Amino acid sequence: MPSSKPSKRDLIRSFKNILTEANANKKMVGILRNNADDAAYEAYIFTLILKAIEKLSDDKKVRLKGVNETPKKKFIFRGNPGEIYTTTVNYGYAEFSYLGKLYEVHIDVQYLGTSKVRHEIDISILDKDAAQNCREKRISANARFLRIAFECKFYETLQIHLIRTFTGLLDDMGQTDFSCFLSNKSSENIQQFCTGKKNRPFFFPLVIPTEKEHELKFVNFIEVYIRKCFGKP
């Protein structure tokens, strides 16, 4: 049975391949500003989400962007919590069109919750108009702009407090279309916690490069649920 904690090299290889595919098969190198294993896992999940988006976007494409300029060969993953308007580094994000409306996919962006406390969302999807307004006015992304939230955990063991913490964060975000909690590990307790409640995240265990069935299940789910929540053509 494959290890449920792949090496960082496995994760990097996977996200670099997907980035290149998303860049019309022109080589695109993913740069990690944070060299921790969990940062590599976030980047890997980010690129899996892009695979799903390519299948549903209006032109079957996802566009790799940077906060300062469109990246040509290097896509920089933020790696630490930051404001959506930060331009000190050309941090990467993705853009796509669905039913004529533009959206953005970000990694490690902070959102201002309903309590006025800032929270990091590992991976988030929001309307492009809202994101652009934040960049132009240099203001924090507001919870009401958040459409989809993803939490990524790359641990040896999963403790129940991790999902409780994420659920509490989501509560301060207010209404989102849906949310997902992903990990390289499985957990019966977390699975049970996330089952049967409308306000709970969807739990996706064992989403790793060596578990292609779990990868595919997650990618297909994202495609189906974005169509369900954003409208069907």
Tens digits of per-residue pLDDT, 117-142? 999 999 999 999 999 999 999 999 99
Provide the β-strand partners of residue 31: 76
Looking at residue 7, its pLDDT comes to 85
Looking at residue 2, its pLDDT comes to 47
Query: Does 3 reside within a domain?
Result: no
CATH of the domain at 121: 3.40.91
Query: Does 210 reside within a domain?
Result: yes
Section 154-161 average pLDDT: 92
Helices (H), the chain: 8-22, 37-56, 128-137, 160-173, 188-194, 212-230
3 vs 102: which has the higher pLDDT: 102
What do you get for the CA distance between the two ends of the chain, in Å? 41
233 vs 210: which has the higher pLDDT: 210
Asked if 30 contacts 19 with a C-beta cutoff of 8 angstroms, the reply is yes
Residue 81 confidence (pLDDT) above 80:
yes
Which domain range does residue 80 map to? 8-230
Looking at residue 172, its pLDDT comes to 94
The whole model's pTM is what? 0.94
Residue 54 confidence (pLDDT) above 70:
yes
Residue 1 confidence (pLDDT) above 50:
no
Query: Does 91 reside within a domain?
Result: yes
Give the total number of structural domains in the chain.
1
CA angle at residue 231 from 230 to 233, to 5 degrees?
135
Distance CA 222, CA 220 (A): 5
**Cβ atoms < 10 Å from Cβ of 5:** 15
Contacts of 5 (CB under 8 A, 6+ apart): 154, 156, 184, 185, 208
Query: Does 60 reside within a domain?
Result: yes
Looking at residue 22, its pLDDT comes to 84
> Do the strands 118-127 and 141-142 form a parallel or antiparallel pair, or are they unpaired?
unpaired
Query: Does 1 reside within a domain?
Result: no
| pLDDT level of residue 196 (50, 70, 90 thresholds) | confident
Section 63-85 average pLDDT: 93
| pLDDT level of residue 3 (50, 70, 90 thresholds) | low
